[in-house]
Structure formats: C-alpha cells, structure tokens
Amino acid sequence: MEIAGTATLITGASRGLGEALALELGRQGARLVLVSRSRPALEPVLQRIRAAGGIAHALEADLGSKDDIYPLSGAATALVGPIDLLIHNASDLGPTPLRLLLDTECEDFERVLAVNLLGPFRLSRVIAGSMALRQRGTIVHLSSDASVNAYSHWGAYAVSKAALDHLSRIWATELGERGVRSFSVDPGEMDTQMHAAALPDADPKTLARPENVAAQIAALIRASATANGGRFQVSSPGAEA
Amino acid sequence: MSPASAPRSRQEPERLLVIDPAADRFADYQIADLPEFLAPGDALVLNDAATLPASLRASAELELRLMSEQDDGTWLSLCLGHGDYRLPTEERSAPSVLAVGAELCFGHGLAARVRAVDPISARLVYIEFQQRGDALWQALYRAASPIQYAYLRAPLALWDVQNSYAARPWAVELPSAGKPLRFETLFRMAARGVTLAQLTHAAGLSSTGEAALDARLPLAERYELSDETAARLRRIQAQGGRIIAVGTSVTRALEAASMSGTLRGGARRTDLLLGPGSSLRTCTGLISGLHEPGTSHFALLEAYAPRALLNHSFRHAERQGYLQHEFGDSCLILKGALDPRPRSRERQQGGLVGDRLQSS
C-alpha cells in the first residue's frame, strides 16, 4: 500500500513504537490521526510531525471503552476521510511488576483484554466495513513473542496478544477477497517505557530502537508481497540495526 | 403502520416487501432474500455517511440540531425550544429568537457564535464553532448526542445509528435504508457478480417541528461520488446492468449527479426533489423503508412506482405487521423483480413469500 496521502489511524501514538510509527509514516506523507488516552501526551509528537511538514491530528480515546469507539472513528474520518490504514498499537500490560496468573485480579485481566483485544475488534468493526466496501485497506496488529511463548508472569498480556494474532488472521480470511489486508507484527524487544515496566533489569543496549522497528513495519505496509493474514517478526533487533 | 420502537436485535427477522411496478404486484420476503433479486452485472449503491451526533443542548430551553455544514465552515442549525425527545418535535415550544453574535456553550468546552439568522425562519441559524480541527471534532462528539425520536422506547446511543459500512460523519440522521443490510448479504451479492458501490450523502433532518419549514425539506444537501465509482456505474449501465439505490439519499445523489444526462463524479450540493413523474436517469430500483404518504420520502418512491401500487402494497404491509421508521422493515421497488422468468438459479428455488410467511 502506498503510504503517501493515505488516511492513517495509529492507537497508542504518544510514545514508544506508536510515536516512532507516527513519525515514520508522517515523514512518508501519511495523513495521520494519532490516538492516546491523553492529548497533552500527543502534543510533542504532533509538533514534530507538523514541523517536518507532515499532516497529523490528535484525538483522545480509551480503547478499552466501547463508548469511545464511534466518537474516535467519526472524528478521525471527519478529519482525514475514510481510514485506509489502521494500526492497532495501543497495549495495556496490566499491573506491573507482572504477576503470576494466580495473583492476577479478574478485573485486571478483563481490562487488559478490553484494551488489547476488544478495543482493536471494536475499532476494526467500525472502520473495516468501509474498507471492504471501497476494496481498499490495511489493518496492522502489534503483537508480541509472548503470544506464541508461554512465559511465566505474562498471562493476561500474552493471552490478549495470542487472541489478537488470531483476530488478525480471521479479518484476513473474511475480508481478503474484498481487498482488505490484515497482518500482525511482533516488533521484538524494544527500548521503550513499556519494556522497562515489564523487564526493568534489561540492558537497553541489547534492545532495538523503536524507530528502526517502525521503518521495518512501514516497509511491510508498503510491500504488496506482505502476506494477508501473516504474522511477521521484525528482523535484526540489535540496537545498532 | 406501527413504528419499530427500538433498534432491531440481530435475531429478529427483518422483512422485505418486494414491489414490482412492471407486474403491478408485490410479495413478502425477508431482507436476507435480497440477493435473489439482483443479478450478476447489477450494482447496489450505498450511502456510506456515518451519523453525526447532531443534537446539542445550549440550555434547558434551547436545543440545536445541526443540519448541514456550509462551505465556509459554519453549520446551518435548527433551534428547538423547551422539551426533550419524548415530545414530538411539532409539540415542542418555539425557542426564543437568537441574535446574530450570540454565544452558545454546549459543555465539554464546545462553544459557538451565531453568525446569521435565516431570513425565512428565525429557527434556522448559522453557527460558527469556536474550536477548529481535532479540538472541534473531539468536543463535538463529547457534547452532542444523536437526534432522538419520540416513538422510541429508550434514547439512542451513537452505536445504534450507524450503518456497518459507514465512514465520514456527514449525515445528521441515520440513512436508515442501509441499516438492515448485513455484510453476510452484501458479500453474497458481491460473490455473485453484483457490484457494491458507495457515495457519501449528507442526509438531513427529517422534521423541524414547524409545518412551513418541513414543507421546504429536504434542503440542499452535499454529496460526493468519486470519479472512479461514477465510471464503474456508467460501465454497468452501458452493459445493461441495473443500478439499485439503497435509500432515498442515494437516489437523490445519483439523479443529481446525472442531471446533465451522464452520470458524473464530483462533490456538490443538491436540492433536487423527486416525485411522481420524475424520470430517473440512473437509478433502476430502490431499497427503502416504508414511508408514509404525504412525506417527501413517499413522493420519491413515486418516481419508482405508481401511487396506487404503493398504497395498495403498503396497506398490505400494515395488515401484515410490517414496522416503519428508522429501525423498521424495508421495501425493494424494482421492475421485473417478481417476473416468473428467473434472472438467477436462486430465484427458482425461492418462491413467493406470501406463502412462506404464512407457512412459517
């Protein structure tokens, strides 16, 4: 998919990989709607994109809340037109330090599923119908290697990401014939605030830079060879990549 | 005919009254039967406007309903006085007249100023929001609610008033003809070679509460048809395919876009009124709700079928318990729809529902 001029919505865009994706896609000419729970947190990202001549708008929404979904999609399409590129990047780890399942409160588990799984379902549900009608659209789901490996302590988050991967595949199966592509990406371990919250002892030097990962995800979005329904791992995660 | 008093549950079968003006007949079906009536090479055109929360409260005595965004960014808005949606709009008290320059605050940081009052009715004002861009849209979605209807049991949420394929929030009331269409049905038609196409039409208010104003409805409404879609539809016409409009708003947009004789893409406004005797240049058939005689919507149906047939079939629908209004049942008006010579194999297996409903 051509990125220049494409109406794009990125959730969780105020920091980490979401911020890096916003800057990368903004540089490539996407017309962006950036989403976060807090507008002030989005301001610095907006300013950087606009200063570089990019087009970006900021909207506040809690992806875990059904009532926030139509206000988000309505405001976003009013600002940039029907969304052609939807990037589900926002994630909730649940309480940190991460806990064993037996120590996980039911409400915390539900909240993680609400943000990481139900939010992407609901948002795709209200945006992908127009994509299917127009026969144009790409949906990207940010996954994790915790979705395929049963790490201790990562329960709620890992379960949500495993389900998100499968959600992505089913969108691909159901919408592929209508020209809508869906895939998921495991970005690897990155030097982000979220990674520090989950694994505070990790050495940042061993972690990938979000901007490098963002450039590789942008390449997956552009490439027509990117398989519909695929799950991709970003390569060369070293800090020097 | 009784109104549907709540959004329909997905379990409830929604009915489709098929009206064939060529055969002067009608028959009862269900909305899921729709693909039987379209053939490969036909097109179904949908209005992909999402529904804006268009009702704003400035005070207990003043509700504003956004009607349409103007090219200069102001919004033509209707003022309603004391009372809420439980009172039919025509019974709402007249609002106090707003002066040019008056400031209106709607909560959640949303504010506007009155820029002009319409010369024809002081209920119509042009307002300019003080916010712009993302701040405006964020505040508007927080402060406003969907327009409500007196015949509904409970207030509508934003989720209730959207078609599942909607995108830009241009409509101030639900373009309801598309509401019963599920993707299951749409994809089944597409798989059989029916083209699904879309345009965006800013469907306006259905009622203002003032008879003189209602008589002027619909006001000019904007629409956008892409050049690409216009070209696809022209090819379909050239190859003898039929173009089925989903809703009166799609009919108005397509017919306005073909006033020159050829269907042309573009973004324009239209105040085109269609009715008995109008010749349709583009639309072959219509999917619509069951509208009451005397309304502009009913008049538009008369461009597709004679009044006598409409009256006769709607009286039948009433007896059969069809529901009307935003969440009601549907009709398909299409010449040849009930022709016994089938256009497709499915039709042969179908049969008339007059029987089907009675036997189930």
What pLDDT, in 10s, does the model give residues B77-86? 999 998 877 7
Residues of B with CB under 8 A from a CB of A: 46, 48, 50, 52, 133-134, 137-138, 140-142, 157-159, 162-169, 183, 186-187, 190-191, 196, 198
- Tell me how far apart the alpha carbons of residues A116 and A88 are, in angstroms, rounded to a whole number: 9
Q: What are the tokens at B196?
A: 């699904």
Phi and psi at A157, nearest 5°, equal -60, -45
Which residues constitute the domain of residue B249?
2-50+158-359
- What is the reported pLDDT for A238? 46
- A39 reaches B (C-beta below 8 A): yes
- What is the reported pLDDT for B342? 59
To 10 degrees, what angle do helices A210-222 and A16-27 make? 50
Look-up: residue for tokens 């907006």?
A46
**From residue B179, how far is each of A119, B47, B50, B259 by CA, in Å?**
23, 11, 11, 28
| Same domain, residue pair B315 and B290 | yes
What are the chain A neighbours of B138 within 8 Å (beta carbons)? Answer: 39, 59-60, 71, 75
Q: Where are the alpha helices (DSSP H) in chain B?
A: 133-143, 183-191, 211-214, 227-238, 248-257, 296-301, 307-319, 345-350, 353-359
Ranges under pLDDT 70 in chain B: 9-11, 341-360
Q: Of B86, B109, B143, which residue constitutes the final position of a domain?
A: B143
- What is the reported pLDDT for A136? 97
What are the chain B neighbours of A124 within 8 Å (beta carbons)? Answer: none
- Tell me how far apart the alpha carbons of residues B219 and B65 are, in angstroms, rounded to a whole number: 14
Q: Do B50 and A77 touch (CB under 8 A)?
A: yes
Strand extents, DSSP E, A101-229: 137-142, 180-186
What are the chain A neighbours of B157 within 8 Å (beta carbons)? Answer: 67
Is residue B281 in a domain? yes
The answer to whether B96 and B102 are in contact (CB under 8 A) is no
| Same domain, residue pair B86 and B9 | no
Q: What are the tokens at B347?
A: 């039709």
Q: Do B159 and A70 touch (CB under 8 A)?
A: yes
Is residue B117 in a domain? yes
- What is the reported pLDDT for B343? 58
Is residue B150 in a domain? no
The answer to whether B261 and B288 are in contact (CB under 8 A) is no
- What is the reported pLDDT for A30? 98
Q: DSSP for B270-285, please give it.
A: E-----TTPPPSS--E
Q: Of B143, B168, B201, which residue constitutes the final position of a domain?
A: B143
What's the predicted TM-score (pTM) here? 0.93
Q: What are the tokens at A16?
A: 């980490």
- Which of A33, A86, A122, A130 would best serve as a mutation to test chain B binding (most B beta carbons within 10 A)? A130
Question: What CATH number should be reported for the domain holding residue B204?
Answer: 3.40.1780.10
- A50 reaches B (C-beta below 8 A): no
CA distance B44 to chain A (A): 11
> What is the topology classification, in CATH, of domain A7-233?
Rossmann fold (3.40.50)
CA atoms within 13 A on the CB side of B77: 31
| Same domain, residue pair B25 and B115 | no
The answer to whether B230 and B199 are in contact (CB under 8 A) is no
Secondary structure percentages of chain A, helix, strand, coil, to 5? 50, 15, 35
Give which of B344, B321, B262 is closest to B28, Cα–Cα: B321
**Cis before B218 (ω within 30):** yes
- Tell me how far apart the alpha carbons of residues B95 and B118 are, in angstroms, rounded to a whole number: 15
The answer to whether B322 and B17 are in contact (CB under 8 A) is yes
| Same domain, residue pair B25 and B171 | yes
The answer to whether A13 and A19 are in contact (CB under 8 A) is yes
- What is the reported pLDDT for B210? 83
- Tell me how far apart the alpha carbons of residues B178 and B164 are, in angstroms, rounded to a whole number: 8
| Same domain, residue pair B237 and B348 | yes
- Which among A66, A69, A77 has CB closest to B168? A77
- A55 reaches B (C-beta below 8 A): no
What pLDDT, in 10s, does the model give residues B284-342? 999 999 988 888 889 999 999 999 999 999 999 999 999 988 889 999 999 999 987 65
CA distance B150 to chain A (A): 23
Angle among Cα B344, B177, B281 to the nearest 5 degrees reads 70
What are the chain B neighbours of A133 within 8 Å (beta carbons)? Answer: 46, 48, 165, 186, 196, 198
| Same domain, residue pair B45 and B104 | no
| Same domain, residue pair B297 and B240 | yes
Q: Do B141 and A74 touch (CB under 8 A)?
A: yes
CB atoms within 10 A of CB B137: 25
Buried b (16+ CB within 10 A) or exposed e, A46-55: bebbeeeebb
- What is the reported pLDDT for B350? 41
The answer to whether A120 and A64 are in contact (CB under 8 A) is no
The answer to whether B239 and B211 are in contact (CB under 8 A) is no
| Same domain, residue pair B128 and B198 | no
Sign of dihedral through CA atoms A159, A162, A167, A170?
negative
What are the chain B neighbours of A67 within 8 Å (beta carbons)? Answer: 157-158
CA distance A88 to chain B (A): 18
- Tell me how far apart the alpha carbons of residues A16 and A87 are, in angstroms, rounded to a whole number: 14
Could you list the pLDDT tens digit for every one of the 241 residues in chain A?
999 999 999 999 999 999 999 999 999 999 999 999 999 999 999 999 999 999 999 999 999 999 999 999 999 999 999 999 999 999 999 999 999 999 999 999 999 999 999 999 999 999 999 999 999 999 999 999 999 999 999 999 999 999 999 999 999 999 999 999 999 999 999 999 999 999 999 999 999 999 999 999 999 999 998 999 999 999 754 434 3
Angle among Cα B41, B44, B47 to the nearest 5 degrees reads 155
Is residue B61 in a domain? yes
- A66 reaches B (C-beta below 8 A): yes
Look-up: residue for tokens 């979705």?
A147
Q: Of B95, B113, B143, which residue constitutes the final position of a domain?
A: B143
| Same domain, residue pair B185 and B232 | yes
Judge residue A33's burial from the number of C-beta atoms within 10 Å of its C-beta, 0-12 exposed, 13-18 middle, 19 or more buried.
Answer: buried
Phi and psi at A88, nearest 5°, equal -85, 95
| Same domain, residue pair B98 and B134 | yes
Mapped onto helix, strand or coil, the DSSP state of residue B10 is coil
Is residue B152 in a domain? no
- Which among B141, B159, B167 has CB closest to A130? B167
Please give the interface size between A and B, counted as residue pairs whose CB atoms are below 8 Å apart: 80
What are the chain A neighbours of B133 within 8 Å (beta carbons)? Answer: 57, 79
- Which among B137, B158, B165 has CB closest to A70? B158
Give which of A158, A17, A136, A178 is closest to A88, Cα–Cα: A17
| Same domain, residue pair B96 and B44 | no
Is residue B63 in a domain? yes
Strand B124-129 to strand B221-225: parallel, antiparallel, or no bridges (unpaired)?
unpaired
| Same domain, residue pair B14 and B127 | no
CB atoms within 10 A of CB B335: 16
Phi and psi at A181, nearest 5°, equal -110, 140
Q: What is the mean pLDDT of chain B?
A: 90
Domain total in chain B: 2
Is residue B345 in a domain? yes
- As a whole number of Å, the CA-based R_g of chain A is 17
